[in-house]
Structure 1
């Protein structure tokens, strides 16, 4: 079925090598990328910014809903997961175009209150070819009540074949927010994160955890053709994460053993 382009958002950007190098440095890597190189998986998050003036932002720092994402009356946003299909390499130093569509938007009644589920689909094109298809799964919900019990997280597997630890701090979260133009205050405004959205501290970006897992997968398996991930529990910036791999399965384990993210490559 042909997409309705009247309900899409089209953006163009240059895959600037300097921005990709800045991401390498933020991740603790040597800045080796240059024009003509293939963009590492998920580094496209550095491009296609959607800056908005202050009066077009919601209380959480994200652009207000009501455009591509419909307003369903729920204030608290979470990136629940995503899926990617890598069709062809994106090349640094060249122009690229992204088309964005809202595939689904539904509101349901959950055990703890109303929930809204939104799936965005993005296509990234370069030199007339579709290079990447991405689906983003977002969840919107009400703010937690002060006396609401904390959800019990599932425990992560401990039978991995390989693992590595990753440390986060407020500077890392700030730099990732800046490089991806992510204004969500849970990643840099600790009073807001704790007092309004009910977290124990600054929240590590779900996409940042997914980025680490994708790079781990690429090191183990070679160039990726598909990757999917689902966030299951928040990780706080003071916690050490353990990245785990078993075959084509990957996951993030928190310091108390809880499962924070699971993925397949």
Structure 2
């Protein structure tokens, strides 16, 4: 098990609220919004320990080398046991829960599930399961898989836009070096996207805040990325009851989620 300590700095939380366009009313002693633990416990590896994509190389840290170059955050599940408090030291305990390999329509796939526990003042505050998928580079001319259509009939909808500055600031604040979020040439020429990719956790964060604003404090939240959203696209955050999703401008579903209160 890997252990990291950090102080839940209110200034970092205020910076995230600024990125999200929310009031920066976080002070020491305040309860943190859900999922804000992602701003802390940076894995600051030396440059020589990074892979071509800007992430820490697999096989030298917690994540084993699965032999495939492309990494994606496929989804996750969270349990909120108690709110984190800003200005107080905390510890993150991480372990690999499962690894698996299988063949998909686009070739071999590898799946890694990490379990993170966030502890503060001797109490477990958050348990998070992070699902990662690794795959081959796309072949030129290879047909793209059909993307799922997003549901309609939501009771709440909010349009959101992204730009390169927002993606860069979010990457910096979460210490996410993945080049698909800020290096457009790499995203297009190496990983085969049509532009910069909006972070899956950023979309999940927006959905969590939408759910909490509408339903009250969250006990749990699960999400799954189903299609990439690009930085030049307008997306719609949707909610119907406890179900949430992100709809792209062409009607595709980019993420689906479920809130528990």
The answer as to 2:45 corresponding to 1:55 is: no
The answer as to 2:133 corresponding to 1:126 is: no
After TM superposition, the score normalised by the length of structure 2 is: 0.98
CA distance in 2, matches of 1:158, 1:42: 27
CA distance in 1, matches of 2:39, 2:125: 16
CA distance in 1, matches of 2:188, 2:144: 13
The answer as to 2:191 corresponding to 1:197 is: yes
After TM superposition, the score normalised by the length of structure 1 is: 0.97
Taking the TM superposition and a 5 Å limit, the aligned residue runs for 1:120-199 are 120-199=114-193
Query: Helix, strand or coil: the match of 2:64?
Result: coil
The answer as to 2:216 corresponding to 1:222 is: yes
- Find the counterpart in structure 2 of residue 24 from structure 1: 17
Query: Helix, strand or coil: the match of 2:37?
Result: helix
The answer as to 2:92 corresponding to 1:94 is: no
Residue from 100, 104, 114 that aligns with 2:108: 114
CA distance in 1, matches of 2:23, 2:32: 15
Deviation (angstroms), 1:58:
0.2
Deviation (angstroms), 1:94:
0.0
Deviation (angstroms), 1:110:
1.4
CA distance in 1, matches of 2:105, 2:168: 34
CA distance in 1, matches of 2:232, 2:35: 24
CA distance in 2, matches of 1:206, 1:10: 24
Gaps of 5+ in 1: 1-7
Deviation (angstroms), 1:185:
0.0
Deviation (angstroms), 1:111:
1.8
